[in-house]
Amino acid sequence: MTVTKKKTKKPKKPKKPNLRKLVKKAFSLWSECARLQHDNKCEMCGIKNKEINSKGKPTVLNVHHACPRENKALRFDLHNAIVLCVNDHKYGKNSAHKGSIFFYDWFKKYRPSDYEYIFQHKDDPPVETIEQVQNAIIELELTREILLNKVDNAQGF
Ligand SMILES: [Zn+2]
């Protein structure tokens, strides 16, 4: 006869939040908010998410950091977010990654206040501790709520 021992569970310690996971969550919220803010369209060419592009494929939208995400002061800031189709983001000759001189000229022309904002805030304290990233998440979740309400109102709900 085998006696099965009842396993006694140790009381769980409250888990410390994982910074990497929080950062990932914050980036994903940042990206979602930017898309909502810009109507799910590429800011440069106006093509919509999933709309069939010139190559016959559904459009994929990316959200680009005007000032690279390595600048931790601005990495979750929506002033620093630009919604672009993959062509205007990475592959086109005037894209953010390949033709940065044209791209920055465009940004300065079409989003002048955000351009100024980035220069004013580039040396702000970094958002890097668990608590700071958690606060950024709370702020982005609120922004998302507001943006979603706006979408609902625009659709007459
Ligand atoms: Zn585009």
pLDDT number for residue 2: 58
Q: Would 109 be classed as within a structural domain?
A: yes
Range with the poorest average pLDDT among 7-21, 50-64, 93-107: 7-21
pLDDT digits (tens, 9 = 90+) for 9-56: 777 777 888 999 999 999 999 999 999 999 999 999 999 999 999 889
Q: Would 153 be classed as within a structural domain?
A: no
The DSSP code for 76 is T
Distance in Å, CA 19 to ligand 1 centroid: 33
pLDDT number for residue 15: 80
Question: Does residue 91 surpass a pLDDT of 70?
Answer: yes
Q: Tell me the C-alpha distance between 103 and 44, whole Å.
A: 9
Q: Would 31 be classed as within a structural domain?
A: no
Which two three-digit tokens encode residue 84? 């672009």
Distance in Å, CA 61 to ligand 1 centroid: 8
User: How many beta carbons lie within 10 A of that of residue 83, not counting itself?
Assistant: 23
Q: Would 116 be classed as within a structural domain?
A: yes
Distance in Å, CA 46 to ligand 1 centroid: 6
Q: Would 67 be classed as within a structural domain?
A: yes
Distance in Å, CA 108 to ligand 1 centroid: 17
Q: Please name the residue that has the structure tokens 């940004």.
A: 107
Non-local CB neighbours of 123 within 8 Å, separated by 6+ positions: 73
Band (157; pLDDT cuts 50, 70, 90): low
With 0-12 / 13-18 / 19 or more C-beta atoms within 10 angstroms meaning exposed / middle / buried, residue 4 is exposed
Distance in Å, CA 6 to ligand 1 centroid: 61
- 150 touches 115 (CB < 8 A): no
Q: Would 152 be classed as within a structural domain?
A: no
pLDDT digits (tens, 9 = 90+) for 117-137: 999 999 999 999 999 999 999
Q: State phi, psi for 24 to the nearest 5 degrees.
A: -60, -45
Distance in Å, CA 124 to ligand 1 centroid: 31
- What is the extent of the structural domain holding 99? 37-146
User: Long-range CB contacts (< 8 A, 24+ apart) of 53-58?
Assistant: 53/85, 53/87
The number of folded domains in the chain is: 1
Give the predicted TM-score (pTM) of the model: 0.86
Instruction: Report CA Rg, the chain.
Output: 21
| Amino acid code (one letter) for 153 | N
Distance in Å, CA 42 to ligand 1 centroid: 5
